Amino acid sequence: MKATVGSGVQPSDSGARRTGRARWHRRAGMLPLAYLAALVAVALVHPFLPTWRWLAIHLLLLGAVTNAIVVWSAHFTAAVLRAPPPVGRRGEALRLGLLNVGVVGVLAGGTTDRPWLGVVGAGLVFAAIAAHLAWLAARLRAALPARFTITVHYYVAAAVALLIGVPVGAWMLVADDHSRPRLLLFHAHVNLLGWVTLTVLGTLLTLWPTILRTRMADGATAAARRALPVAVAGLAVLGIAVLAWWPPLAAGGLALVAAAVVLIVRPAVQTARRKTPASFPGWSIAAAGGWLLIALGVDAWTLLSTPGATAAADRFSVVLVPLLVGFVAQTLLGAMAYLLPMALGGGPAVVRERTERLDRHWAQRVAMANAALAVFVLPAPPYVRITVSLLILAALVQFLIPAVRILLARRRP
């Protein structure tokens, strides 16, 4: 399975056997899926959980998404920088272990009356991401110039954003004063638009044409280089503006972030015109991009139309639903549906079989999830919102079951 020109992210299957890559991804891949399974459980029993919203958000973002980012950003970094295969995975395993002990601490502290447990957990998460950032920086220093080095620069900027956002979240676990709404808005924006969105934008440069099995659009790399400083500037302006509560300036920061997204999306659309998406990963990620732009627009409108930071924080849920479900979750599932079969290796026939299992009923799943989400974000009676939320949950389960089976299956000789 030779690497394609558009990606540079698919090591050969013989390399997977030689370096233990398949065994590593079989184990590491279970981490995001475990948090997603816990999210399903929380959704089913949420009437009995007073803090279920906070728990669900952090199971998705801090649990599933952060684990996936740490694992796959390391994978893409090694690929785009043409780094030699790792001799061992001890360093990555230690970082993941530290991260997940911290995540469990944060979840425990946020859902019980032991906030300092959450603070300690946040400290461990901070240490794990700081170690990940140091690893990224070391790979950049050691690498020769490469065409897609800009992808790693996105990962570095994203990690810095999370290191800024984590202490603010830890402080909110133990402090409750008049500044809390502004801190909440800062924490949410820096983590969602920094840690998650910057990582996604950097990865799509190579992942998107690889999913579509076509060459990259002309100018895609240049667009990514232009977009990164625009996105970082927008994120900085947005963070300062919500802390000082200057809504017009915050909307301006969001506009810069949206401009960076458009810079990335334009060549991606050109690529899709050349080769239309025809799989779950392609359509799931395409739909996620649309929801990201919608969420940014709703976010700007919310900040500009509320009388103060407290009201804006209270209304931020109208932004979170399309951002978390429409953008973050769909991107995560689409990327994993494509990457997991490749990373596990086993030869073209086995990879194709795994891909077909994760693609099964893909049109129904994508259409059902996005139609249900569209109904959910619009004004609707409670029973309608309950029904469509169950449809979204069903789409998640339709991914989880085959994904877990693939990871638990014995590797074929």
Q: Give the range of the structural domain holding residue 124, as residue numbers without chain letter.
A: 17-408
291-307 pLDDT, tens digit each: 999 999 999 999 999 98
Q: How far is CA 164 from CA 161, 188, 194, 306, in A?
A: 5, 11, 10, 26
Dihedral over Cα of 111, 112, 118, 119: its sign: positive
What is residue 410's predicted lDDT score, i.e. its pLDDT?
A: 63
Q: Is residue 32 part of a domain?
A: yes
2 pLDDT more than 50: no
Taking the C-alpha atoms of residue 6 and residue 22, their distance in angstroms, rounded to an integer, is: 22
Handedness of CA 176, 179, 183, 185 (dihedral sign): positive
- pTM for the complete prediction? 0.92
Q: What is the pLDDT of residues 187-246, one digit of tens each?
A: 999 999 999 999 999 999 999 999 999 999 989 999 999 999 999 999 999 999 999 999
Query: Does some domain include residue 7?
Result: no
Two tokens at 410? 């014995």
In a domain, 123, yes or no: yes
The CATH number covering residue 217 comes to 1.20.210.10
Amino acid at 25: H
Residue 10 inside a domain? The answer is no
The arithmetic mean of pLDDT across residues 101-121, rounded, is: 93
Domain annotation covers residue 235: yes
In a domain, 391, yes or no: yes
User: What is the DSSP-derived secondary structure letter of residue 214?
Assistant: S
Total number of domains in the chain: 1
Angle at 238 between CA 237 and CA 239, to 5 degrees: 95
User: Cα 177 from chain centroid?
Assistant: 31
* Mean pLDDT estimate for the chain: 90
Residue 13 pLDDT greater than 50, yes or no: no
Please tell me the number of Cα atoms within 13 Å of 281 on its side-chain side: 20
User: Looking at the domain assignment, is residue 3 inside a domain?
Assistant: no
Q: Give me the pLDDT at residue 411, please.
A: 53
Domain membership flag for residue 9: no
Residues found in the chain: 413
Give every CB contact of residue 181 below 8 A, 6+ residues apart in sequence.
308, 309, 310, 312, 313, 314
Q: What distance in Å separates the CA atoms of residue 237 and residue 380, rounded to the nearest whole number?
A: 35
CA angle 221, 227, 229 (to 5 degrees): 120
Contact present, 397 and 332 (Cβ < 8 Å): no
